C-alpha cells in the first residue's frame, strides 16, 4: 500500500522503517528534519501533511502531544486538506481521549475513517516491531489497518469501537508507568540512604511481589545512572497531565497521579525535561539531601 507517515521521532522513525521493510511505499513528513535513515530506506519526503494525504491511501500520525496532532491534521497544509473520501487516518500518538473524539468526528465528516492506536513499549520495541497497540474505532477500519499494525506491534487489542477508547487505555498505561517509575525511584533512594546496596535490593525484589518490568528495566537504568532519553520526562509529565485533565472532565479523583505529576514537574524545573523519565531519581535524591 501507499502509506503516509507524519512524525519521525524516536518512536515514529523505527515504526516507519518497519513499514518500508514490510514492502509498503512510504510518504513521510516531519516538523523537524527527516532522519536520513528513513529516506535511505526508501521513503519519499513530502513538504506537508497535505501532500502526505494526497499520496498515501492510509495516513499515520505519531507526534508528541494533542496540539501537535491537531496541527498535523487540521493546520494549514495539513492532512485534512489532502484527504479524499474513503481514506483512513490512524493516530498512534498519546493524546487526550476527548480531543481524539473531536478529531475523529472532523475526519469522519470528510468521508474518511479514523482509528486511535497509541502504543506502549518504548524505542526497543519500536525498533523490533513488537509494540503493544491499543485501538479505538470501527472493526472494519481495524481490519483494513491490521496488516500495517502487525508490522509495528506484537499485541494489537481493539479496546472498543468508539474513537478515544484506545487513548483511554494508553492513559491508564501511563498512569501505571509514571507512578511505578516514581515508586521505584523512591525505593532505591530509601535503600541507598539506609546504607544497603540498591543493586542487591533490586535483585531481591525482582524475585518477589514487587517485581515488574519497570523495576527490571528502569530500575536497572537508575542504578547504572543512565539518564539518556528513551522516554523523555517531559512526555511522561504530559501524559500524566492528560490523565488529570480527563479525570477532571469525568469527576474522577487521581491523587497519586497528581502527586507524581509534580515530581515530574520538578524534573522540568531542573532543566532535565529532555532526559529520560527516570530522572525523577535525581529529584528524590536532592530532596533526601543527596
Cβ neighbours of residue 78 closer than 8 Å, sequence gap 6 or more: 48, 49, 50, 71, 72
Give the C-alpha separation, 21 to 25, whole Å: 9
Tell which residue, 51, 131, 68, has the closest CA to residue 28. 51
Helices 139-152 + 12-21 axis angle, to 10: 90
Give the C-alpha separation, 1 to 51, whole Å: 16
Q: How far is CA 262 from CA 66, 248, 277, in A?
A: 20, 17, 13
Give the C-alpha separation, 185 to 148, whole Å: 37
Contact 254, 247 (CB under 8 A): yes
Give the distance from CA 111 to its chain's centroid: 27
Cβ neighbours of residue 210 closer than 8 Å, sequence gap 6 or more: 187
Q: How long a stretch of residues is the chain?
A: 290
282 is catalytic: no
Contact 117, 149 (CB under 8 A): yes
Please state, as a whole number, how many other Cβ atoms lie within 10 Å of the Cβ of residue 256: 13
Q: Which of 170, 200, 274, 282 is catalytic?
A: 170
| Residues belonging to the active site | 170
Amino acid at each position: 500500500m501507499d502509506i503516509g507517515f507524519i512524525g519521525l521521532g524516536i518512536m515514529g522513525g523505527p515504526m516507519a522503517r518497519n513499514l518500508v521493510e514490510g514492502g509498503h511505499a512510504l510518504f513521510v513528513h516531519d516538523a523537524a528534519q527527516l532522519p536520513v535513515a528513513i529516506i535511505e530506506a526508501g521513503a519519499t519526503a513530502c513538504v506537508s501533511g497535505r501532500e502526505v494525504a494526497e499520496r498515501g491511501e492510509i495516513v499515520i500520525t505519531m507526534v508528541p502531544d494533542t496540539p501537535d496532532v491537531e496541527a498535523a491534521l487540521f493546520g494549514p497544509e495539513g492532512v485534512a486538506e489532502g484527504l479524499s473520501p474513503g481514506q483512513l487516518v490512524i493516530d498512534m500518538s498519546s493524546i487526550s481521549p476527548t480531543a481524539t473524539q473531536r478529531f475523529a468526528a472532523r475526519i469522519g465528516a470528510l468521508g474518511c475513517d479514523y482509528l486511535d492506536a497509541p502504543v506502549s513499549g518504548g524505542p526497543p520495541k519500536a525498533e523490533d516491531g513488537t509494540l503493544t497497540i491499543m485501538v479505538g474505532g470501527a472493526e472494519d477500519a481495524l481490519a483494513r489497518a491490521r496488516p500495517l499494525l502487525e508490522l509495528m506491534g506484537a499485541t494489537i487489542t481493539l479496546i472498543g469501537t468508539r474513537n478515544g477508547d484506545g487513548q483511554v487505555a494508553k492513559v491508564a498505561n501511563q498512569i501505571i508507568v509514571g507512578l511505578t517509575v516514581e515508586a521505584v525511584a523512591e525505593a532505591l533512594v530509601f535503600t541507598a540512604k539506609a546504607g544497603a546496596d540498591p543493586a542487591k535490593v533490586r535483585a531481591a525484589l525482582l524475585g518477589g511481589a514487587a517485581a515488574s518490568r519497570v523495576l527490571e528495566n528502569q530500575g536497572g537504568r537508575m542504578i547504572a545512572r543512565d539518564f539518556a532519553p528513551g522516554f523523555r520526562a517531559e512526555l511522561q509529565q504530559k501524559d500524566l497531565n492528560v490523565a488529570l485533565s480527563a479525570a477532571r472532565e469525568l469527576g474522577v479523583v487521581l491523587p497519586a497521579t497528581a502527586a507524581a505529576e509534580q515530581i515530574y514537574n520538578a524534573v522540568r524545573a531542573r532543566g532535565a525535561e529532555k532526559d529520560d523519565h527516570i530522572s525523577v531519581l535525581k529529584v528524590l535524591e536532592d530532596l533526601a539531601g543527596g
